[in-house]
Amino acid sequence: MNDSAGRQAKPRSESSEQRRREKIQRLSGELRTEQRSLWSDAWHHFMRHRLALASLVALVIMSISIIVGPAVIPYDADQIDFTTKSQPPSLAHPLGTDELGRDQLIRILEGGRISLAVALAAVSVAMTLGVLIGAVAGYAGGLVDNVLMRLVDVFYSMPGLFVLILLVTIIGPGFLTIVVALGILRWMGTARLVRASFLSLKEKEFVESARAVGAGRTRIIFRHILPNALSPIIVAATLGIAGAILTESALSFLGLGFQPPQATWGRMLQEAQRSILNEGHWWRGVFPGLMIFITVIAVNFIGDGLRDAVDPRRTQG
């Protein structure tokens, strides 16, 4: 079990527990006092949540544009027009066009739709697997737990991107393949988290009382224990979305994800590579990457804000 301890010892972010402890020490004058510490501390907290809030706003705006965009923009994502090929950003094409004259803005919105859909679906697969396996392992204990946790170890030691490449090239790229492949490679963290929660929760009095009034095993797991273990799962799911977006873009970038003419952010970057290197068409590279970057960082901030919000004493998740 030492390996799990080692991995979980990674603090995801600076713990609020530790911040509190330090504040107390500082206030009691045990350490050298810094006069602005209290205010900076408050500012620190405030910034955190303000960033999470701003990120949420950014993602909502992005989602609305993805939905409304195709109705407002007078171009089609796959509409080839050689009269407007490789144009830098202009009023007609705010983000420029590619070498087939396709409007980059509409392609970016189209790519965002795919990226977000894949990430949400993949995280749902991963969460379902992780929660089920973690819950069964934690609740059953003993041999079942041991076998399932070895399975977690095996999956943790698989070179993820390699297996993903293998599945996608051999089965053939498609929405379902990519979602399922991403899902089965990212459930292990959640399984460990859920198992740990279940191990401690199943000994609590409320579970005993549920059992005493005759609740069945499934009911106890899903209705009584799971709701109490939910907050770390929510945080893990949020942060998982960021990872899924990055992995899906990387796969598309390697030319192994969705196939042309389907626009995805990773794919647009792959197609842009040559024209940036040879012709210096910077707009083809800057914007799709910026979208990945903004989305990932926004999701990360929201995850961090959620972590602080749902359980301020949790040190990691």
Partner 1 sequence: MSRYFIRRVLQAIPLLIGITIIIFVMLQMTPGGPLAVGENPAGRGRVTEEDLQRLRNQYGLNDPMYVQYLNWLGDLAQGDLGTSFNTGLPVLRMIGERLPTTLLVMGLAFALTLMLSIPIGILAAVRRYSFFDYFTTSFSFLGIAIPSFWFAIMLIYLFSFQLGWLPSVGLTDPRADHEGFSGLWDRVTHLIMPVSVLALTSTANVTRYVRAAMLDVISQDYVRTARAKGLREQMVIWVHALKNAAIPIVTVLALELPDLFIGAVIVESVFAIAGMGRLFIESANLRDYPVLMGVLTIAAALVIFFNLLADLLYGALDPRVRY
- The token duo for 251 is 């796969």
Residue numbers at the binding site for partner 1 (CB under 8 A):
2-3, 6-7, 9-11, 13-15, 18, 21-22, 25, 30-31, 34, 36-37, 40, 44, 150, 153-154, 156-163, 165-167, 169-171, 242, 246, 249-250, 253-254, 256, 266, 269, 272-273, 276-277, 280, 282, 285-286, 288-289, 292-293, 296-297, 300-301
Are 118 and 248 in contact by the 8 Å Cβ rule? The answer is yes
Using the minimum distance from each CB to partner 1, give the nearer residue, 207 or 306.
Answer: 306
Comparing CA positions, the residue from 115, 119, 125 lying closest to residue 190 is 125
Alpha helices in the chain (DSSP H): 2-8, 16-27, 37-72, 104-140, 142-156, 160-171, 175-184, 188-201, 205-212, 217-219, 230-253, 265-279, 282-310
| Closest separation in Å from C-beta 22 to partner 1 | 5
Minimum CB–partner distance for residue 173 and partner 1 (Å) = 12
Nearer to partner 1 by C-beta: 61 or 158? 158
Nearer of residues 196 and 276 to partner 1, judged by Cβ = 276
Of 273, 276, 268, nearest in space to 248 by CA: 268
Least distance CB 207 / partner 1 (angstroms): 32
CB of residue 29 to partner 1, shortest distance in Å: 12
Q: Are the C-beta atoms of 198 and 135 separated by less than 8 Å?
A: yes
Shortest Cβ 86–partner 1 spacing (Å): 15
- Residue 135 or 167: the one with the smaller Cβ distance to partner 1 is 167
Q: How far is the CB of 153 from partner 1 (least distance, A)?
A: 6
Q: Residue 237 has which token pair?
A: 């799911």
| In the complex, minimum distance from the CB of residue 229 to partner 1, in angstroms, rounded to a whole number | 25
Contact call for residues 200 and 288 (beta carbons, < 8 A): no
Pick the closer one to partner 1 by CB: 229 or 245: 245
Rg (CA), the chain: 24
Nearer to partner 1, 79 or 315 (CB): 315
Cβ atoms of 130 and 198 within 8 Å: the answer is no
Least distance from C-beta 174 to partner 1, angstroms? 13
For partner 1, give the closer residue by CB, 285 or 317: 285
**HSE-up of residue 316 (Cα within 13 Å, Cβ side):** 14
When the beta carbons of 120 and 156 are compared against partner 1, the nearer one is: 156
Return d(Cα 16, Cα 60) in angstroms, integer.
28
DSSP 163-190: HHHHHHHHH---HHHHHHHHHHTS-HHH
